[in-house]
Chain A
Amino acid sequence: MSRYILSRLVLAVVMALLATLVIFLLANTVPGDPVLAQLGDLAASNKEFVAEWRAKWGLDLPLWQRYVIFLQQLLHGDLGISISSQRPVLQDIRDFAPATLELASIAFLLSLVVGIPLGIMAAMRRDSWIDHLARLISLIGVSSPTFWLAFIMLALFYGGLQIAPGPGRIDAIALPPTSVTGLYLIDSALGGDWDTFRDAAAHLVLPSIVLAAATLGLITRTTRASMLESMQQDYVRVARAKGIRERRIVIGHILPNALIPVVTLGGLAYANLLTGAVLTETIFSWPGLGRYTFRSAVTLDFPAIMGITLIVAVVYLFINLLIDISYALLDPRVVR
C-alpha cells in the first residue's frame, strides 16, 4: 500500500511540473507584449525605460533560461514576484486564497448536504413529486449560467426582499477580523467577535448557493443514478428476501456502494469549486483567487500565471491522489 501511495506521489510531482511547463510555453506563445499590458503609453514608448523594465522582470532572457529560473526559485519555495501586483506571488496567493477556500468549502458542504439526500430520495421515490423536484433543482443548477443566477439572487434577496447582505465578504463599514487563517468565519470566532461572524456568515449565503448550484445538480443526479443501479443488485434482493428492514437495507447495503461514484465526483467537484469561481467572485466582488487568476491571465503576468497553475495542479493532483487512495482502500484489487 505505501509503495502504491509513494509511486502516486512521485507521479503527482512530475505531473505538476509538466503542467507548469505546458502553461509556460502556452502563455509565451501569445503575441501580446506584457510591457503593453503593464505600462502606460508614455513609459511604454520610451525604449530605455522598457529595456530596463524587461530586465527587471527577466523578460529579456531566453525562454528556457526563464523556465530554469522558475524551477530554481521553486526549489527555494519562491514563486517569484507578480508583475502586475509587484508583490511575491506567494503573498498574493496567501492573501486571496482564504476567501476562495472559505467560499468553496461552504459551497461544497452545501451541495453535499442538500444533493446527497435529495438524490437518495429521488431514487427511492422514482417518478414521484420529489423526483421531479430533484430533477428540476439539478436542471436549474447545472444549466443556469453562473453570472445570471448570481445576479438574480442578488437582485431578489439583496435588492428586492432585502433579507440578504450585498456583495463583498463583510459589511462595507465593518472592519475585517484580525487575520489568523484569513478565513473570516474562523478568525472572527477565534476572536470571539460574533457580530463579525454573523456578518461574514450572512455574506457567504448567496455566493455559496450560486457557486454550489452546478455541483449540487451533478451530485443529486449522480447519487440518484447510482442509487438506482445499486437497488437492482442481487445482494439487495437477497437482503430484502431475508426480511431485513428497509431502513437497514438502504443504509447498510445500498448507500455504501452507491456513494462510491459520488466520492470521485465530489472530490473533483471540490477541486473545481476551489479553482473555478471567477464569475461568482466577480458579481459578488469576492476578493478571491478566481479574480486574481483572471487578471493575471489578461495582463500576461507570467510569474502569477505560473504560480497559480502550480497551485491548481497541486490541488487537483492532491485530491486525485486522495481519491486513488480511497479506491485502494475500498477495493484492494486496485493496488495489485
Chain B
Amino acid sequence: MAGKLGWIDRRRLVQLLGAGGGAIAAGLPSRVFAQTRKNTLVLGIDISDTITLDPARLAQYTSPMTVSAAYDSLVTMKPGEYINLAPSLATKWARTPDGKGWRFTLREGVKFSTGNVMTAEDVKWSFDRVINLGDQPSQYIAHVDRVEIVDKSTIDIILKEPAEPLLTIIAAPEFVVLERKVAEANGASAAKDAKTADKAAQWINSNSCGTGAYRIAAWERNQQIQLVRNDHYWGGKPPYERIVIRHISDGAAQLLAVRRGDIDAAFNLIPEQIAALKSEPSVRLAPLASLDFVYMALTQEPEFNKALAVKEARQAIGYAIDYDGIVKSMLGGAALRPAHFLPIGVSGSTEEIARQIAFKQDLAKAKELLATAGFKDGFEFEIAYGNAAVQGVTYQDLGLKIQSDVARVGIKVNLRPVDQVNLRTEYTTGKSKGGVLTFWNPPAVENQLWAAAVVQRVAKRVHWNPPEDIVKLVSQAATEPDPKKQAELWVEWQKRVVDQANHFILFQPVYQIAVRNTIKEFPLTAAGWMLDLHGVTPTG
C-alpha cells in the first residue's frame, strides 16, 4: 500500500505546498499609493512607549516629537543651540519690571489649526491646565506661582523663586499652547479641580488643537500616528500633506523598510545595521546628538562595601575604566563623553572641558590611589544592570568591559543582571550594594534639573551626603545671570562631583538616524523632541 499516494496525488500536494508562496505574489497590492507617497513623510520608529499625546501629561521618550509638531511653546531651542533660546509663540521676553517673573510678548496673528487667532487667554489657560492637572509635567514648573494676562499680547509668568530657571524648561513640548475653546468643548479643564474634571484624554490622544505645523489626525496604538498639514500655520506652508509616524519595533525591519523606501527615516538602528547602510547610495546617516547619559553609579555605604566607602578606592575605579575603548570600539565613535551630569552642549560643558576634568584611563594612578585607600591588592564589588541596550550596546557588554578594565588594577567585579524595574527599585531606594549601570535622559534642557538632582535624590541613592558648599554651588550657578560666569560655576561644580567619584559617565549617545535622500532638511535635535518635524523638507 505504500506504493500508492492514495487520494491526493503528487501534483496536488506540490500545489498545496506552493500555495503559501503563490499567495505572496498574488496578494500584493497595486501601487495605488505611489502618488500619495510623494506628499507623505513616513518615519519608522519604535513608539511603543507612547501612552498619551496630551502635552500636560507627557512623560515618555518618543511622544514629544509628535506633540511638538502639533503644538508650539512660547520659546524654543534651535538644533545644536541649547543655551540661548529662540522665539516661537513669543517674540520677545524679559524679566517683569518687579523682577519676580518673566514677561512675554506674544507673536501677532498666530492662528490655531481651526483658523481662530491665538490669544493671551489661551496661553494662560494652557499653563493653568498643566499646573492644575498635577501630572508629571507640573513637577517641572512647581516654582511657577501664576500666569497673568497683562494685555492682549503680553503675559507674565510669576515665580515663587524668581531666580530659578524658567525659559529652558518651558521650551519643552509639555508647556505648549492649546486652543482653549476647542479643548474645553472636548472635555478639557484648567480649573483647580482639573485633576478630576478634565475628561479630554481620549479626544486629545487622537486630535490636537495647537498652532503647530501639523495637526494630529489619528493615533492607532502600536501602529501609527497620523498628522496632517495645518493650513493656518504661522511659519509658512508646511511641505507635507501628511506625516505618518509608523511603529516598527525591530531595528532590522526598519533597516529593510528604509532601504526599500517604505519609510523615509529609520530611528532605531544598531551599529551593525548602520554599518550595512554605509554603502547604500539612497540613504544617508544623520547624527542625533542626545543629551542622554549612560553611566555607572557607585554606592559609598560602608555596610554594603567597605572599599567603596573610601573615596580614593572609587577614584581608582574611575581611573581604571577605558572610556575611549567604550566610545570607539563598542559604539564605533558614535558618542560623546561629558565629565559629569552636564551633557556636552549645555552651559559649562564642552568636549574640551570634559577632556580636562573627566576621569581618563590611567592605570598607574589607579594603583597609586588603591594603595592610598589601603586596598593595595584590590577589592571586590558588584555591578548590577538591566536587560536592555543603548545604541545596540547591552548593559551586559558594558559590565563585561568594566569588569575586564578594573581587573587590570586588581579590582574584581561580580556582574549581576537584574530585571529593569527591580533594578530601578533597588537603585532609587538606595539598596544597591555596589555599582549600577543605567540611563538618564532629560525632560527639559536645564542644567539645574540635573545638578540639583545629583546633590539631592541621586546623592541619596549612593549614600552620599553632599557638603553644604556643593549644594550651594548648584543654586549659585543656576541663578547666575552672566552667561560666562555661569559657565565657570558649572565647571567648578563638575570638578567637585567628579572628585567625589560616585558617578562615572560612560558616554552620551549620538544616535544615528538613517534618512533617505528624498528628504532634504531633517533637523534633528537633542532638546528632547528628537526632530523639528515642521522643518523637514523633501528634495526637489
Contacts and interface: CB of A to CB of B under 8 A. Distances in A.
Contacts of B134: 49, 52
B408 interface: no
A43 B428 CA distance: 12
A15 interface: no
B390 interface: no
A198 B247 CA distance: 21
Interface stretch (A32-40, A64-72, A266-274): A32-40
B140 interface: yes
Contact of B6 (A31, A113, A151, A250): A250
A283 B250 contact: yes
Contacts of B247: 168, 285, 287
Given A287-B222, A295-B48, A37 B28 contact: no
B185 interface: no
Contacts of A33: 421, 424-425, 429
Nearest to A283: B250
Contact of B16 (A31, A117, A284): A117
A217 B224 CA distance: 34
A110 B16 CA distance: 10
Contacts of B33: 171, 173-174
B224 to A, nearest CB: 7
A118 to B, nearest CB: 8
Interface string A121-133: 1001111101000
Interface string B414-425: 000001111011
Interface stretch (B35-43, B360-368, B503-511): B35-43
Contacts of B426: 31
Contacts of A43: 59, 136, 139
Interface string A86-102: 10000010011000000
Contacts of B424: 32-33, 36-37
A69 B420 CA distance: 28
B8 A167 contact: no
A49 B139 contact: yes
A202 B248 contact: no
B8 A168 contact: no
Given A39-B59, A114-B20, A85 B248 contact: no
Nearest to A113: B16
Given A121-B13, A159-B260, A205-B23, A171 B220 contact: no
Contact of B1 (A86, A154, A246): A246
A198 B139 CA distance: 49
A173 B244 contact: yes
A205 B242 contact: no
A42 interface: yes
Contacts of B419: 30, 32, 298
Interface string A51-95: 010000000000000000000000000000000111000001001
A166 interface: yes
B137 to A, nearest CB: 9
Given A166-B256, A287-B222, A287-B223, A32 B20 contact: no
A301 to B, nearest CB: 10
Interface size, A (range): 35 or more
A199 B1 CA distance: 45
Contacts of B30: 195, 198
Given A41-B453, A124-B4, A173 B27 contact: no
A26 interface: no
Nearest to B36: A173
B509 to A, nearest CB: 18
Contacts of A299: 421
A52 B37 CA distance: 47
A319 B509 CA distance: 49
Interface in B107-127: none
Contact of B223 (A168, A251, A298): A168
Contacts of B467: none
B440 A41 contact: yes
A162 interface: yes
Contact of B20 (A37, A85, A110, A231): A110
Contacts of B222: 96, 285, 287, 291-292
Interface string B232-262: 0000000000101011111011001101101
Nearest to B456: A45
A166 B425 contact: no
A247 interface: yes
B208 interface: no
* A41, A151, A154, A165: most-surrounded residue (chain B CB, <10 A): A41
A34 B16 CA distance: 50
B443 A172 contact: no
Interface of B: 1-2, 4-8, 10, 13, 16-17, 19-20, 23-25, 27-30, 32-33, 36-37, 40, 42, 44, 48, 51-52, 59, 134, 136, 139-140, 201, 220-224, 226, 242, 244, 246-250, 252-253, 256-257, 259-260, 262-263, 419-422, 424-426, 428-429, 440, 443, 449, 453, 456-457
21 contacts: A33-B429, A36-B424, A37-B424, A42-B136, A43-B59, A45-B456, A49-B134, A95-B221, A117-B13, A121-B6, A164-B24, A166-B256, A167-B253, A168-B224, A176-B220, A202-B29, A231-B1, A284-B253, A285-B223, A287-B223, A298-B421
Closest 3 CB pairs of A and B: A32-B421, A287-B222, A202-B27
Given A201-B23, A247-B6, A287-B221, 15 more contacts: A36-B425, A37-B420, A41-B453, A45-B453, A84-B51, A128-B2, A166-B253, A167-B250, A172-B244, A173-B242, A175-B226, A202-B27, A246-B1, A285-B222, A298-B419
